[in-house]
A and B are shown apart, each in its own frame.
Chain A
């Protein structure tokens, strides 16, 4: 299947700093990528939809000025957590669809390995 990478895989930072997470589709192009957040023992929650060449679409309750998303190319989306605080500590996962069409004629979403963020 298609491969999605994320970098870094884990990061520890001080409160108040900004952290950038990259999501890359390695062998396919993705006009749309998705960013999720997962707190311990909870499910993934969609944060935003990243659209190549246009503004991201944020889910209700997600601050767009705090979680900056840039989708500069068809293979790269970045999520920047600005002025991170301990409550932002979480597992951040991106996904991308290969747009090749699965059995139902729909995209298959492939997930990156995730980035574990710890804010001290």
Chain B
């Protein structure tokens, strides 16, 4: 079983749609959780951290369920510029042991 698993995608949605990505992790000792965005042939960039209480940043909402070892990302009012691969990242200690999901490809169409 992979340490971090994500929806395989791809997700193709129209502009303005709401889309949700899911991620599960196997290591119950995991401490920190993140969503990264990766554009084609570019490095990953931090989108947002994920906290147990859930957090929101504009159109993006992240949720963490430690009991189920499950993380989600919700994107509302999708924009064309949201098209990218979204990586779920889990770390075990001090962000020095990052494990990445395979990523979910999102394409937002006009």
| A97 in complex: contacting residue of B31, B41, B96, CB < 8 Å | B96
Does B87 lie within 8 Å of A97, measured CB to CB? no
Determine how close the nearest CB of chain A comes to the CB of B20; give it in whole angstroms: 19
Determine how close the nearest CB of chain A comes to the CB of B40; give it in whole angstroms: 10
Considering only residues 22-49 of chain B, those with a C-beta below 8 Å from chain A are 31-32, 41-46, 49
Q: How many residues of A contact B (CB 8 A)?
A: 24
| A114 in complex: contacting residue of B42, B96, B98, B101, CB < 8 Å | B42
- What is the bound-complex CA distance between A30 and B61, given in angstroms? 31
| Count of CB-CB pairs between chains A and B under 8 Å | 52
Does B49 lie within 8 Å of A102, measured CB to CB? yes
Does B98 lie within 8 Å of A43, measured CB to CB? no
Does B95 lie within 8 Å of A43, measured CB to CB? no
Determine how close the nearest CB of chain A comes to the CB of B6; give it in whole angstroms: 8
Contact-size category for B: 20 to 34
In the complex, what residues of A have CB within 8 A of residue B32's CB?
Answer: 104, 106
| B94 in complex: contacting residue of A42, A45, A107, CB < 8 Å | A107
Interface string of A3-47 (1 = CB under 8 A from B): 000000000000000000000000000001010000000111110
Determine how close the nearest CB of chain B comes to the CB of A38; give it in whole angstroms: 9
Query: Counting CB contacts under 8 A, is A49 at the interface?
Result: yes
Does B95 lie within 8 Å of A42, measured CB to CB? no
Does A43 lie within 8 Å of B96, measured CB to CB? no
Contact A44-B96, Cβ < 8 Å, known A112-B43, A113-B42: no
In the complex, what residues of B have CB within 8 A of residue A97's CB?
Answer: 95-96
| A106 in complex: contacting residue of B46, B95, B103, CB < 8 Å | B95
Determine how close the nearest CB of chain B comes to the CB of A21; give it in whole angstroms: 13
Please give the residue numbers on chain B whose beta carbons come within 8 Å of chain A beta carbons, in ascending order. 31-32, 41-46, 49, 87, 91, 94-103
